[in-house]
Structure 1
Amino acid sequence: MKITDAKVFVGGPGKNYVTLKIMTDQGIHGLGDATLNNRETLPAAYLRDYLIPNLIGTDPRNSEDIWQFFYRGAYFRGGPIAMAAFGAIDMALWDIKGKLAGLPLYQLFGGKSREGAMVYAHATGADLDELLDSVAQYVEQGYKAVRVQCGIPGMPTAGYAVPDKKGNIRNYITDFSGIRPRVEIWETDRYMRYMPEALARIRARFGPELKLLHDVHHRLLPREAAAFARAVEPVNLFWLEDPTPAEDQDALRLLRQHSTVPVAIGEVFNSIWDCNRLIEDELIDFIRVAVTYVGGITHVKRIVDLAGLHHVRTGFHGAPSHSPISMAAQAHLNAWAPNFGIQEYLVLGTPECDALFPCGHRMENGMVHVSDAPGLGVDFDEKESGRYEYRPGSHPVVRLEDGTMWNY
């Protein structure tokens, strides 16, 4: 069996999804997702110009050797562009394996550990009252876990994942359109004074059973993160996400010494080497890697296995920058992983998205149920993809009130 061709498609409904399709001489194709949010043309070019020419003629069943060829064979290793491209190839090769075997991928991993995987929704509001309404909407839909973000009184701009004005709060997604990024203004003292009380009010309103998550999005220094974690301990968060930038892995020791709040980190990591010390030293409770950004299923399984040895559970990234292809890969990993924790899930199921990516996975009452179709269980309509083209965009950037650049 040989790979005969591969194509890259960029575009989609509201997002620049980067979709890889690998074809074989037996008529079986595999799909992968290389979407690198707001830098989508870079992994697409890397695939077209460098990686696909080296794929042609290889046996797609040898996915381990192909992964090692691209990773070890590169003099400059890793990084988000390369790992997103490797991740797309790896997903597509696993998709081919599943189709050859006539089995869903979770069976190739070792079978199911659970029937459904719990997901969390994103609740938000320009102020706390609007956030409470947003949480209530998701609870009514059957969600058992909700991430909560709201505007901070006196903050010059709305802040991370918060609408600028009161209004439609259902499935709010930050606007990344335009190549020049929006500037958000951050003020740590206001946040640290207000947010613990806001979280306490949410807990009082919805009771002890609802799992509450909160994302700081790298905005606090290590000492501030430790103080904030102590302040919110009574809320009993399911997790506190990205309390401080994790490039300095030892920074998490300070937080661990002062608080028992569960910590989730990893959505910007690109390899096991970004998180092995955090896992081995048990400085985090959830690992947030995404199957695209860390080089695909092959590499994610290694991280999951390492995490399982150290009481660390999975909490894969699931922002709308991940197409239904990578979300399908994570659905299979969630079904298998013995140390599964939770899955981030932003609603992708619009009619346009369903037409581009026909998929058998389903979400009901806050749980994702994986399809039993062979391979990934998701397809790609090339004709439908012709409706879309690349549109440039950028993440916002963050400055302090005095103009100093800060962490997004």
Structure 2
Amino acid sequence: PVYQLLGGKCREAAAVYVHADGENPQAVAENVLAYMEQGIRYVRVQAGGYGGRHAPDVRPQGAPDGFYFDPKHYMRTTLRTLAHVRGVVGEEVELLHDIHERLSPIDAVGFAKEVERFKLFFLEDALAPEDTAWFQRIRQQCATPLAMGELFNHPHEWQPLIAKRLIDFIRMHISQMGGLTPARDVAIFANMYGVRTAWHGPGDVSPVGHAANLHLDLWAPNFGIQEWCRFDDLHYEMFPGLPEVRNGYMYANDKPGLGIDINEKLAAQYPPHENISWWTESRLPDGSPARP
């Protein structure tokens, strides 16, 4: 197994976090409670997807179609949602939130201060990669743990943040950064500065990518948490050896390599669909594109 090639396991399984969303705070809280019943202890809370929904439509005449995002509306609704969820579930579950780089730097500073009272496990992607100098401002203002890295490509993007201890979790995308060996190097470097790993693992990461994440998680002494999306039975049939999650932990098998295979004949029956996700067409109230 790859975890053995890396140096052996530090743990038998990796704790995971999952995503809870909903049309209103009550629905989000119900989803969090449902996950808790499954043994999940880490849940990322979103209020209607990235940037929220139901923002007032104040676009100017002639503005293009798209998903309209109002930063102030998003901050208000998210704070209300976090307050409601924390009030319902208490402190027996760790909550996370992903800004997804949608806010201006100064708004991100203020938002990080506001969510401090909810005791998040971490606040993800508070800033865009081109704005990371602002992490110093956030650090000066609050103690909210910060996670960053899924868009990083070059060492100069992550080295200063880790060396200056401006983030608490590094969550790069394994294939985007170059594979297992660069990821191992980043984890070792981060360990020297007390920064933990939280590799990128949403639904658009393949089962093979999730298996790679898991082997790094089992090995890394500074493992923090692993993002996980639930797969259905078809995925487990198509990718024999796909890691299993039980009671909030992801487990690997002891097969060679990543322990996962691909049923190519079955996969050929499901060609990819070229569809555009709604959150990739986000626009600010005046119709201009929203990052990222």
| TM-score exceeds 0.5 | yes
Give the fraction of aligned pairs with identical amino acids, expressed as a percent. Answer: 40
Work out which of the residue numbers 315, 328, 332 in structure 1 matches 2:198: 315
The letter of the residue matching 2:30 is D
Work out which of the residue numbers 192, 212, 222 in structure 2 matches 1:339: 222
What are the residue-to-residue correspondences of 1:246-285 with 2, within 5 Å? Answer: 246-285=129-168
Cα deviation, residue 148, structure 1? 0.5
Cα deviation, residue 109, structure 1? 0.6
Cα deviation, residue 407, structure 1? 1.0
The letter of the residue matching 1:244 is L
Work out which of the residue numbers 336, 339, 355 in structure 1 matches 2:237: 355
Cα deviation, residue 154, structure 1? 4.9
Instruction: Assess, with a 3 A threshold, how the Cα gap between structure 1 residues 248 and 352 changes in structure 2: closer, same or farther.
Output: same
The letter of the residue matching 1:399 is R
Cα deviation, residue 153, structure 1? 7.4
CA contact (8 A) 1:246 1:252 kept: no
The letter of the residue matching 1:111 is G
CA contact (8 A) 1:120 1:144 kept: yes
Cα deviation, residue 280, structure 1? 1.1
What are the residue-to-residue correspondences of 1:351-390 with 2, within 5 Å? Answer: 351-359=233-241, 361-390=243-272
CA contact (8 A) 2:211 2:242 kept: no
Cα deviation, residue 393, structure 1? 2.7
What are the residue-to-residue correspondences of 1:387-398 with 2, within 5 Å? Answer: 387-395=269-277, 396-398=280-282
Aligned residues: 281
Q: Deviations over 1:214-252 (max 9, x none)?
A: 011101112111111111111100011111212232111
Cα deviation, residue 379, structure 1? 0.6
How large is the RMSD of aligned CA atoms in angstroms? 1.8
Instruction: Assess, with a 3 A threshold, how the Cα gap between structure 1 residues 360 and 240 changes in structure 2: closer, same or farther.
Output: closer
Alignment pair present for 1:155 and 2:37:
no
The letter of the residue matching 2:5 is L
Q: Deviations over 1:190-225 (max 9, x none)?
A: 222332232122112111120000011101112111
Which residue of structure 2 lines up, in the alignment, with residue 122 of structure 1? 19
CA contact (8 A) 1:249 1:277 kept: no
Q: Deviations over 1:310-353 (max 9, x none)?
A: 111011111111111111111110000000000000012x2221
CA contact (8 A) 1:290 1:316 kept: yes
Q: Deviations over 1:343-386 (max 9, x none)?
A: 000012x2221222101632101101111111110011122222
Instruction: Assess, with a 3 A threshold, how the Cα gap between structure 1 residues 372 and 226 changes in structure 2: closer, same or farther.
Output: same
Higher alpha-carbon Rg = 1
Which residue of structure 1 lines up, in the alignment, with residue 124 of structure 2? 241
The letter of the residue matching 2:68 is I
Instruction: Assess, with a 3 A threshold, how the Cα gap between structure 1 residues 153 and 310 changes in structure 2: closer, same or farther.
Output: same
The separation in 2 between residues aligned to 1:273 and 1:293, in whole angstroms, is 15
Q: Deviations over 1:259-293 (max 9, x none)?
A: 11001111111233321111111111111112111
Query: The residue matched to 1:212 in structure 2 has which SS?
Result: strand
Which residue of structure 2 lines up, in the alignment, with residue 40 of structure 1? none
TM-score for both structures, normalised by structure 1: 0.66
CA contact (8 A) 2:208 2:242 kept: no
